[in-house]
Chain A
Amino acid sequence: MSQIFRRSTNTFTRATIFGAVFMLGLTVWAIDRLSRSDYVTRATQAREQPVPFSHAHHVGGLGVDCQYCHTSVEISSYANIPPTKTCMNCHSQIWSTSPTLEPVRASYRTNQSIRWTKVNDLPDFVYFNHSIHVNKGVGCESCHGRVDRMPLTYQVNSLQMEWCLNCHRNPEKYVRPREFITTMGYQPAGDQEEIGRKLVAEYKIQNARTLTSCSTCHR
């Protein structure tokens, strides 16, 4: 009776068993990369808006402070998207006939809100609060990036939990003095870790154990 398999089948089998492990590893790796990619987190992708509002122009060009529009960032969980009235503070006289701004004027006339597209959208099971971050020395820029260089607003960071935890584990690497909260392009006056450790003590930022407790962000 002749052999069913040829001798070379041994090598082939060994290769495929090894190959299976390799393929499985590759699949796991691919899923991991994909789930962290900008494609999935939507980072770096500018969102379409009803009016092509440019932070680069208003913040970078004109020097308007973040809080001129985002008024509740110090005192509330949300920074606030300004009502149309805030746009009209200036645009009642400036670019007041521009077709691009017609949706703004229409909103002011009809009292219908402009439906802006949310750019930095956290999952609903995260109880994020702007005021605590701003008051403890986390600058706008630390999460939102160089907004003053964004012609159309996009999300800079992944907003995934591992990204939050970077700072919750080591706040001293990121915090800055409160007077520089809205500063874009902040450079620490000295060694960030050294300044950071002082600020963590001064602002009574809690220890990493508390900051990384589940119920700090999820309730």
Chain B
Amino acid sequence: MRTKLTLGGLALSLAVLSACRQDMHDQPKYVPLRPSDFFADGRSARPIAEGTVARGHLNDDKLFYTGKGADGRPSQEFPMPVTKALLLRGEQRYNIYCTPCHDRTGNGNGMIVRRGYRRPPTYHSDRLRQQPNGYLYDVITNGFGAMPDYAAQVQPADRWAIVAYIRALQLSQQASINDVPPEARNQLGGAK
């Protein structure tokens, strides 16, 4: 009797387990990044057909998308107002995407550089202080020298936010105590 029950119990658990089909878990549909056996390149994400413009993606704002002015040269202008919110967003994005090489101060001694990547120039040289904003935007978008492009990782609005933050970093290394509003000076811990 007991043996029968044990066997029955085992059979029941086997039946319960073997009834677990995964059809609903693994549906024959594509979700982002799922591979495909159908397309030759093995990807379910398809390239956009040439000449296609998705709604709202005409990208005809030349300054915003290329950093270049009407004359085709890097523009000094920002395509949006530079606000505190933009700077804070820029700080956050800068710390994610730029600090591995440029480090948090912009001196170019980030962790990846310390591991052997070619050292980028410091932001605090006269040459880079005098480059227009559009130049920095262009470098983020297309890369420069050893620096790869960040077009895929950082969206245009965030690139501008990073440019604004780099400007703030540059100012921070050239600032005197007179640039700090009197009411904020006690936050500096006695620095002059």
Contacts and interface: CB of A to CB of B under 8 A. Distances in A.
Contacts of A77: 32
In terms of DSSP, what is the predominant structure of the interface of chain B? loop
Interface string B10-39: 001100100000001111010111010000
Given A65-B95, A68-B96, A78-B33, A94 B112 contact: yes
B5 A20 contact: yes
A125 B2 contact: no
Interface residues of A, number: 39
Interface string B132-176: 000000000000001010001100000000000000000000000
Given A27-B9, A64-B111, A124-B24, 18 more contacts: A20-B5, A62-B100, A78-B32, A78-B33, A80-B33, A86-B152, A88-B148, A90-B112, A93-B117, A93-B118, A94-B112, A94-B115, A112-B42, A113-B41, A113-B43, A115-B35, A124-B29, A124-B31
A118 to B, nearest CB: 8
B186 interface: no
A125 B24 contact: yes
A112 to B, nearest CB: 7
Contacts of A24: 5, 9
Interface of B: 1-2, 5-6, 9, 12-13, 16, 24-27, 29, 31-33, 35, 41-43, 92, 95-97, 100, 111-112, 115-118, 146, 148, 152-153
B117 A85 contact: no
22 contacts: A20-B1, A23-B2, A23-B6, A23-B9, A62-B115, A63-B111, A64-B100, A64-B111, A65-B96, A68-B100, A68-B153, A76-B32, A78-B31, A85-B148, A89-B148, A90-B100, A90-B112, A93-B146, A94-B112, A111-B41, A113-B41, A124-B27
Interface in A40-73: 62-65, 67-68, 71
Nearest to B92: A179
Contacts of A123: 24-26
Nearest to A23: B5
Interface in A102-117: 111-113, 115
B35 to A, nearest CB: 6
Contacts of B100: 62-64, 68, 90
Interface of A: 16, 19-20, 23-24, 26-27, 30-31, 34, 62-65, 67-68, 71, 76-78, 80-81, 83, 85-86, 88-90, 92-94, 111-113, 115, 123-125, 179
Nearest to A124: B27
Given A68-B96, A124-B24, A94 B33 contact: no
Contacts of B92: 179
B134 to A, nearest CB: 23
Contacts of B29: 124
